C-alpha cells in the first residue's frame, strides 16, 4: 500500500462475472466501463472483460471513449451522452459508435461526417419510459426519417437501435413489460422506414439476469460486471457474482479515552464508556459518505467496529472498544462479501451495505471512491500462471 488507502481490484472477479452473465443470457455482452469503470479503472477492467468474452464496451462520453482508444483498445465501443457541439469528428475517426437521441445531435454527427468524408456509425436511442435521454414517441419518427435520409446519402450508418430500462431491478414491475412493448414498436417503425440495424439492445444488468424478453442481440452489463447484485443482495446473491473491489487502509493513530469523550466535529458522538479510538485516513473526499454516520462499520482486529462521530473530509474515527489496536493495523472498509453465504456480519461490510447505510445505491459508493485512493489491480490467475 503506497498511499494512505487503496482499492484492490480483482480482475479475475471481473472476468468471472462476464462469464456468469454470459451463461445466463446467451447473447453478446457490452461491458459498461463509464466513470472510470465504476471507480475500478476503465482500461484494466475493459481488458479483463474482453478477455472473458465481452465483445463491446460502453461509455458515457467522448473523453471516456477516446481514452480507451488511446490505451490501444480498438473493439466496438458505444459512447452515448454528448453535447451537440462535441467533437464528433474525433469519435468518427476513432471508429466509435455515437449514441444519438435527438435530431439536433444527428445533424451535428452527419455534418462532422460530411466534413471528414467518412460515414459516422450511430445507434439511435428511443426513450421507452425512463424519460431521460432518447427520443420519445413524438420525436422518434423524425429522428428515424433523418437517419434513413443520411444513411441513403452515405453519411451515416445506423448500426443499432437501443433504449434503457427504468426499473428492471424491481421484480414483477409492470413498467418493464410496457417498456419492452414501446421499444418493440419503435424498432418496428425504424425497420419499416428502411433501417436495418445490426444491433438491438435494451437489457441492463438486472434485465440481463432475470428478463429474457429484454435481451435481444446484446446485454449491457454495468453493476453486475463489478460483482454487485442489481437486486440488492449484500453478498453474491442467487447469481453468484463476485464483488471485484476491496477498499482497505491502516490505522494512523490510536487513543485510549475515558467515558464522556466527544469524538470529531460537534461533537455528535460521546463515548459511553472507556474505549479505544482508532483513526483512519479516509473521509468523504475518499468516498465515505457523511450520511452513514451512526451506521457505518469497518473490519478491524477480526471483527466489525463502528465508525463514530462525523466523517470528515480526510479521516474518520472507529470505536475499537477493548480490542487491542496499534498504529499500522490493517482495516478493510468494504470487501467482496464472500462471507455472506454464512453470516452477514462475519466479515468486512460490502458496498451494498455501505449504500444502505448512506441511503443510496452501490453505484454512488463505488464511483465516489476518490482519486487519491490508489488502485491495485490483481491480474487474472491465467495471466500470472
Separation of alpha carbons 164 and 125, rounded Å: 8
Q: Which residue has the cell 434485465?
A: 207
- The distance of Cα 89 from the centroid of its chain, to the nearest Å, equals 27
Q: Which of 226, 265, 269, 284 is catalytic?
A: 265
Residue of 240, 277, 281 whose CA lies nearest to 258 = 277
Q: Which residue has the cell 453486475?
A: 224
Q: Is 34 a catalytic residue?
A: yes
The 8-class DSSP code of residue 154 comes to T
Which ranges constitute the DSSP H helices of the chain?
Answer: 11-25, 34-38, 42-51, 62-70, 88-93, 103-116, 140-153, 174-192, 205-210, 351-358, 362-367, 381-384
Q: Which of 34, 125, 269, 284 is catalytic?
A: 34
Find out whether 57 and 18 touch, Cβ atoms under 8 Å.
no
The counts of H helices and E strands in the chain are 12, 19
Q: Is 255 a catalytic residue?
A: no
C-alpha Rg value of the chain to the nearest Å: 24
Residues 6+ apart with CB under 8 A from 113: 88, 92, 119, 120, 155, 156
Find out whether 245 and 39 touch, Cβ atoms under 8 Å.
yes
Reduce the secondary structure of 68-98 to three states and give it as a string. Answer: HHHCCCCCCEEECCCCCCCCHHHHHHCCCEE
The 8-class DSSP code of residue 169 comes to T
Residues with catalytic roles: 34, 265
Amino acid at each position: 500500500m503506497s498511499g494512505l488507502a487503496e482499492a484492490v481490484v480483482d480482475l479475475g472477479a471481473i472476468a468471472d462475472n462476464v462469464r456468469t452473465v454470459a451463461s445466463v443470457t446467451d447473447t453478446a455482452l457490452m461491458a459498461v466501463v463509464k466513470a472510470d469503470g465504476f471507480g475500478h479503472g476503465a482500461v484494466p477492467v475493459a481488458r479483463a472483460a474482453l478477455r472473458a468474452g465481452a465483445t463491446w464496451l460502453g461509455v458515457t462520453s467522448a473523453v471516456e471513449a477516446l481514452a480507451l482508444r488511446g490505451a490501444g483498445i480498438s473493439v466496438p465501443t458505444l459512447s452515448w451522452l454528448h453535447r451537440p457541439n462535441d467533437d464528433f469528428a474525433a469519435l468518427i475517426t476513432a471508429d466509435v459508435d455515437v449514441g444519438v437521441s435527438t435530431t439536433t445531435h444527428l445533424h451535428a454527427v452527419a455534418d462532422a461526417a460530411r466534413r471528414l468524408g467518412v460515414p459516422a456509425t450511430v445507434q439511435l436511442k428511443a426513450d421507452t419510459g425512463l424519460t431521460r435521454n432518447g427520443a420519445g414517441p413524438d420525436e422518434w419518427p423524425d429522428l428515424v426519417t433523418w437517419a434513413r435520409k443520411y444513411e441513403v446519402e452515405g453519411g451515416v450508418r445506423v448500426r443499432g437501435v437501443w433504449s434503457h430500462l427504468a426499473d428492471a431491478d424491481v421484480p414483477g414491475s409492470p413498467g418493464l413489460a410496457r417498456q419492452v412493448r414501446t421499444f418493440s414498436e419503435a424498432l418496428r417503425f425504424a425497420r419499416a422506414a428502411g433501417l436495418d440495424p445490426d444491433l438491438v439492445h435494451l437489457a441492463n444488468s438486472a434485465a440481463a439476469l432475470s428478463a429474457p424478453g429484454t435481451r435481444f442481440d446484446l446485454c449491457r452489463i454495468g453493476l453486475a460486471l463489478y460483482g454487485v447484485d442489481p437486486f440488492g443482495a449484500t453478498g453474491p446473491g442467487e447469481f453468484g457474482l463476485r464483488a471485484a473491489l476491496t477498499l482497505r487502509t491502516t490505522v494512523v493513530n490510536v487513543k485510549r479515552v475515558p467515558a464522556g469523550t466527544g469524538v470529531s466535529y460537534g461533537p455528535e458522538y460521546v463515548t459511553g464508556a472507556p474505549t479505544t479510538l482508532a483513526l483512519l485516513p479516509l473521509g468523504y473526499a475518499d468516498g465515505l459518505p457523511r450520511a452513514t454516520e451512526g451506521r457505518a462499520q469497518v473490519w478491524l482486529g477480526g471483527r466489525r467496529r463502528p465508525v463514530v462521530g462525523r466523517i470528515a473530509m480526510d479521516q474518520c474515527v472507529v470505536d475499537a472498544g477493548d480490542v487491542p489496536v496499534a498504529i499500522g493495523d490493517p482495516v478493510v472498509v468494504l470487501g467482496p462479501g464472500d462471507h455472506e453465504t454464512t453470516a452477514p456480519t462475519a466479515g468486512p461490510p460490502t458496498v451494498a451495505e455501505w449504500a444502505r447505510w448512506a441511503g443510496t445505491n452501490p453505484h454512488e459508493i463505488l464511483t465516489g471512491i476518490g482519486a487519491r485512493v490508489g488502485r491495485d489491480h490483481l491480474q487474472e490467475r491465467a495471466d500470472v500462471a
